[in-house]
Amino acid sequence: MPDNVDPCLCTHLIYAFAGMRSNKIATYAWDDVKLYHEFNALKNKNKNLKTLLSVGGWNFGTEKFTAMVSSAGSRQIFIKSAISFLRGYGFDGLDVDWEYPGSRGSPPRDKHLYTVLAQELMAAFEAEGKSTGKPRLLLSLAVAGGKSNIDTGYEVPQLGQIVDFFNVMTYDFFGPWNHTTGENSPLYALPNSKSTLNLEFNVNFAMKYWLKKGAPAEKLNVGFATYGHTFRLTSSAHGVGAPASGAGPAGPYTRQAGFLAYYEICSFLKTATVVWNTPQMVPYAYRGREWIGYDNVKSFQDKIAWMKKVNIGGAMVWDLALDDFSGAFCGQGAYPLINTLHSGLGVSTGCVPSRKPQKPPVPSGGGGGGSGFCAGKTNGTYPDPKDKSKFYECVNGRTYEESCASGLVFDTSCQCCNWP
């Protein structure tokens, strides 16, 4: 939850994910509005922190993106809704996580329309910043690490001229969908293997391919994973490339087969054999028929050294909640992996509180039993029947009064503040 986040760890925090309804950006979970306020209130503790809202994600698919970019009119509907939504909730920018233009059901024309969307978003952000006197909204893109998805999805030189930065998803290179074990986010390819998967599915190849395609190095962020993928071994072999069939068992907290958070991995390692994979500069571990490829503090340090050598702009992490955020599992303090990034990349340690606090929503009308407007109502967002610029957020019977930014009204179609 936002309370668990150290606001001094990162330069930018991204809230994932928002959705889309009728080509307008929209909340995804019932408590998003409450969490938006808590998330953006982290800027009270670090006045230099920037927050972005990410729209899309893997599970979101491509269909709604394809529909939205298909015409100038639908793109403008999205862009206007994004500006009002971001400003209304206090975000500093938008992250577009379309996975992926030109594949997974998205037609080839979307490759160019993705560029057009980025151009129009940035033009609108610049115009809105000038007209309001506010700092321009930021624009970042979450982009593929696999060569085929890069080729089919992105006009790289054009995008490089438009956006503030690319978050390259250099992880999920191997997982239980493969029939042999493999590292989630290896730095290098394995030697003596000519397979395309091995040669292309690693951090070094992916980032150098983005550079080769024309992305500015200073706008590229390398993806770092605070989780690993598990496999079920089918023989006594237990190296990288050992035969496997499907996912290892789900972790006690993340509860997803084939996937463990770093803090769950720390518990797994207590009874497992750990091996440092020297050629790929990442560890793996096995216990009985369970096998996991993951990252640790050492592999993060090695990737940081590589980043400095290649002169890549920065790092992006998926995600905060998967690191040992409480420090209770790994014995390495809170956020051991992300702290390694923070210190290794020389991120400023000066965390200066803001003088103008971001106000959280004010509860009105009593405690958890429910009174006031939200008494007896299900959790959700409701318009104020008396004032179009206000709305109520109902959370377990508690009433939170909210106000839209000046000039905006609450729009029930997107559950957001919008232009009248």
Please give the positions annotated as active site. Answer: 99
Q: Which residues pair with 384 in a beta bridge?
A: none
* Contact indicator for 51, 39 with CB cutoff of 8 Å: yes
**Count of CB atoms situated within 10 Å of the CB of 288:** 11
User: What is the phi-psi region of residue 303: left when phi exceeds 0, alpha when psi lies from -120 to 50, beta otherwise?
Assistant: alpha
Q: Where are the beta strands (DSSP E) in 57-164?
A: 93-97, 138-144
Alpha helices in 239-279 (DSSP H): 262-269
Burial class (CB in 10 A: 0-12, 13-18, 19+), 73: exposed
Q: What does the alpha-carbon distance between residue 56 and residue 82 come to, in Å, rounded to a whole number? A: 13
Query: What are the CA-CA distances from residue 139 to residues 32, 69, 81, 83, 277 (Å)?
Result: 21, 17, 15, 11, 37
Quote the tokens at residue 407. 């000039």
Q: What is the distance, to the nearest Å, from the Cα of residue 306 to the centroid of all Cα atoms in its chain?
A: 23
Alpha helices in 31-71 (DSSP H): 32-40, 63-69
Query: What are the CA-CA distances from residue 80 to residues 50, 122, 124, 162, 184 (Å)?
Result: 21, 12, 8, 18, 38
Q: What is the distance, to the nearest Å, from the Cα of residue 319 to the centroid of all Cα atoms in its chain?
A: 7
Query: Which of 95, 104, 33, 20 shows the shortest CA–CA distance to 390?
Result: 33
* Contact indicator for 152, 112 with CB cutoff of 8 Å: no
* Contact indicator for 179, 245 with CB cutoff of 8 Å: yes
* Contact indicator for 89, 51 with CB cutoff of 8 Å: no
